[in-house]
Chains A and B, each alone.
Chain A
């Protein structure tokens, strides 16, 4: 720790950090544009210049973004020199800036707007002609309103240092400089949309968010991306229970400040999914809609019948890496307490593409958010045993959780599952599972859930509900509790938080975990990764 002086008052701050970050922890804001904590500092906007005693009795201006704290440093944050410079920089940035606020998407989260209140002029002194460089489409997701750009170079630094793809450059010279891509080489890396997040003004925008309602209309709901095992922390911007935008949320241990484009825009596909809106039962080979009481009773009767005829080993359950820890826990409880079977499996979705960015951000090949959690909770990491049991004729009935957007079973999985006398599934849309099911129960998608998932690092992270399931669909945990009731068993407590209490007692690696400890940035489950033990 170091002691520094700011305007004649002493403070204790972490040594070695840059001044902007160090004093942010004290609640002091140093205005800045080009500095971003996830990028190497550049010092080109000059907004963060602050007076510092560089020699005894002599003060000079230093960039706060590059000044590393050392014990004894002496700053003047409110001197005329420091404050006048901010006014000067604001004026310079605004003289060529278009007065677009009324239709610019950045309104409400714009660094120029924000700093204008404190440091800007109310009347412009500029009567010359503003420069008007043309608007550009930089890539499939990103539009550049070049007139608004303040050339802070956050976007070029991002493409050079974080993705390593270097699609963006600055062409021309001086005041004619512009951000550009090379003809035929658009900005299309897998994390391109992050440049719109980090752009401090409305220059770089996603086409996705173009002209959508103002940001102050949205409720912000924190969650975790369900796209892969990285588990990027996210924030959904929601109005009337609909997601209008998803942005990454900073978590230095997981995703830093970033998320991939596919995950970011996946909310469209999820929200547009043609959902199962009511329970279905198979009659004469065709699935027909029915009521919850009917469907549940059929399922329970069917499972009980198989148990009576063939014993406990004739029925099994299969969990899902799309379901939360709490939901998979309730499934385990169903197996142990209600069905009294030890045939428990976990469906493994085939892996997809993996990608590691230059700066270390990873897109995992496992395209589910909770394989690690599900296998921790269920005590198994695949369903091979179940498939063998079905093929040998031992297992005749299966209770399976789905919840994937686009689950595609392999031919051999399909042929095995079609041998079942009874297949009860919880799913969200018309999938291969539903096609084979005798009873299909409509469940929830990740945005509709409260609960936790565990990412590939073993970090347990919280999801928060954006909207309730539509139509007659229900939360998957509630469906399982309903089934349990019909078996005269209480599978677990009511709320996900309470269920985590049970998990923390019953599952070794989750000992001591609770929702307040997990908080907004998650907490690590201890212990060995069972996926690694089992050979992945």
Chain B
């Protein structure tokens, strides 16, 4: 991930990580995606592979929101509002 003044550039590993976080709703699964020996290690994701997902529409939003927050938090970013910083670690609980 490269951050400049007005944009964030992601590489393939970032997309793999975001995808792995997206499809890992539990803490246990999120631990697995960072273990190189696990079948679910995020770098093993094939970005060209199709992924089918059937679940309630709300859950797509929940997974997307959770994965982005988690990705940003794990990469040392936080949210700032009215000068107050919000730590994103809650997204991994």
> Are the chains A and B members of one assembly?
no
Which residues of A does B touch, CB under 8 Å? none
What residues make up the interface of B, taking CB atoms closer than 8 Å to A? none
